[in-house]
Structure 1
Amino acid sequence: MARTQGSHSDITGPRVRDAALRLFAQGGYAAVSMRAIAAEVGVQAGALYNYTPDKQTLLFDLMKGHMSDLLAAFEDDAARAPQDRLQHFVDFHIRFHHARPDAVFIAYMELRNLSPENFVQIEALRRRYEDRLETILRDGVAAGVFTVADTKIATLAVIAMLTGVSTWFRTGGRLSLNQVTGQYWDMVRKSVSG
């Protein structure tokens, strides 16, 4: 199949992913057609299949990319005190997700639209990230600095609370990102300290 004149795969491919990310976040995966993505990119609908076999693969690739970037970016130093590691996690999670609101929305709200085999893969990546926080909490409990009855429940609660910041925080609002991060750290710290 001939490529559309003037198109470049290294330019158009990322534009397809960016358009899909934006449109899925705005209207929801189910409501967005391949034709709408093509129109946003400025190519014919058939041209999209040069970059992705189908819409499901596009959704999966966006979610996998987000989770892979998240896992690659977070570093935990087990030699540091559990409180410092937890504070680092809180700061990292809020700032990483703040910079990617559309990816965050899709990663949490569109799981239901993944095929069963794609869901299993994304869920495994999510568990790897959750396990990093749970390790910090377990280490804090073992060191006697955290009082957590169930580290899995605490992990899920903390991640849900921190991820929520990306849904309401806006730069230029009443509080700065630093102030919000500081307040969230205070809430998380208090929630794990008996």
Structure 2
Amino acid sequence: MARRSGSNGEATARDIRAAATRLFAAKGFAAVSMRQIAHEVGVQAGALYLYTPDKQSLLADMMIDHLEHLLSAWDAARSDDSDPVARLQGFVRFHIRYHLARVDEVFIAYMELRNLSPENFARVERLRRLYENVVEEILVDGAEKGVFRVTDPRIATLALIAMLTGIGTWYRADGRLSTERIEQIYIELALGSLGAALG
């Protein structure tokens, strides 16, 4: 997103991104106009174009920033443990915690792919694939070491990520289970689907 210099410009850019996130998540990208985003921020519609060329660019920038931050956060959290079971457990816990803290951003990143231009889709898909590769590498390593049963690592990767990301559709902070307990259940599900025992 193009930004004006100075603290006021940076604050307005953050406000625009936050407003777009709320509106896109609540109404869908196609149903939200730039005028609505401007109204939510409290600026004239024309002022938005000081920060982004158009709504399509705004959506793409939001998705790309989300995925780049996700990859950076994983790099900081990942373990170099040689045990693929331990690495998969770490990934499950990371993915759940990261995504539950950003439900709207995650919803947009998955549900609004259809509204990206081909060029922007390719940019987003490249980053998504980098994240998917994290899981696929763990699964391949586990299969080679004989601790996972994996017929197709790519399909298994997509299935695991879809299962983990889906938590955001039903999770409630005041629900009957703690986040830690849910993480443990999902670890058991992930390992069980791969024919691995919980260590």
Identify the residue that residue 68 of structure 2 maps to in structure 1.
68
**What is the alpha-carbon distance in structure 1 between the residues aligned to residue 114 and residue 74 of structure 2?**
26
- Kept in 1: contact 2:81–2:87 (CA 8 A): no
CA RMSD of aligned residues (A): 1.1
- Displacement, 1:78? 4.1
**What is the alpha-carbon distance in structure 2 between the residues aligned to residue 8 and residue 89 of structure 1?**
38
Amino acid at match of 2:49: Y
**What is the alpha-carbon distance in structure 2 between the residues aligned to residue 88 and residue 77 of structure 1?**
7
- Kept in 1: contact 2:67–2:128 (CA 8 A): yes
**What is the alpha-carbon distance in structure 2 between the residues aligned to residue 161 and residue 15 of structure 1?**
32
Identify the residue that residue 83 of structure 1 maps to in structure 2.
85
- Displacement, 1:167? 1.2
- Displacement, 1:77? 3.4
- Deviation per residue, 1:33-79 (Å, 9 max, x gap): 00000000000100111111100010001000110011111133344
- Kept in 1: contact 2:96–2:165 (CA 8 A): yes
Amino acid at match of 2:101: A
Percent identity between matched residues is 57
**What is the alpha-carbon distance in structure 2 between the residues aligned to residue 39 and residue 79 of structure 1?**
49
1:7-22 alignment, distance < 5 Å: 8-22=8-22
**What is the alpha-carbon distance in structure 2 between the residues aligned to residue 149 and residue 13 of structure 1?**
46
- Deviation per residue, 1:69-125 (Å, 9 max, x gap): 111111333443000000001000011000000000000000000000000010110
Amino acid at match of 2:90: H
**What is the alpha-carbon distance in structure 1 between the residues aligned to residue 129 and residue 80 of structure 2?**
19
Q: Normalising by structure 2, what TM-score? A: 0.92
1:156-167 alignment, distance < 5 Å: 156-167=158-169
**What is the alpha-carbon distance in structure 2 between the residues aligned to residue 171 and residue 89 of structure 1?**
21
1:18-167 alignment, distance < 5 Å: 18-75=18-75, 76-167=78-169
Q: Normalising by structure 1, what TM-score? A: 0.94
Q: Which runs of 5+ in 1 are unaligned?
A: 1-6
Amino acid at match of 1:120: A
- Deviation per residue, 1:110-143 (Å, 9 max, x gap): 0000000000010110001001100000000011
Q: State the 4+ residue runs in structure 1 displaced beyond 2 angstroms.
A: 75-80
Amino acid at match of 2:141: D
Number of aligned residues: 188
Identify the residue that residue 3 of structure 2 maps to in structure 1.
none
**What is the alpha-carbon distance in structure 2 between the residues aligned to residue 82 and residue 98 of structure 1?**
24
**What is the alpha-carbon distance in structure 2 between the residues aligned to residue 153 and residue 116 of structure 1?**
24
Residue 182 of structure 2: SS of its match in structure 1? Answer: helix
Residue 164 of structure 1: SS of its match in structure 2? Answer: helix
**What is the alpha-carbon distance in structure 1 between the residues aligned to residue 32 and residue 50 of structure 2?**
19
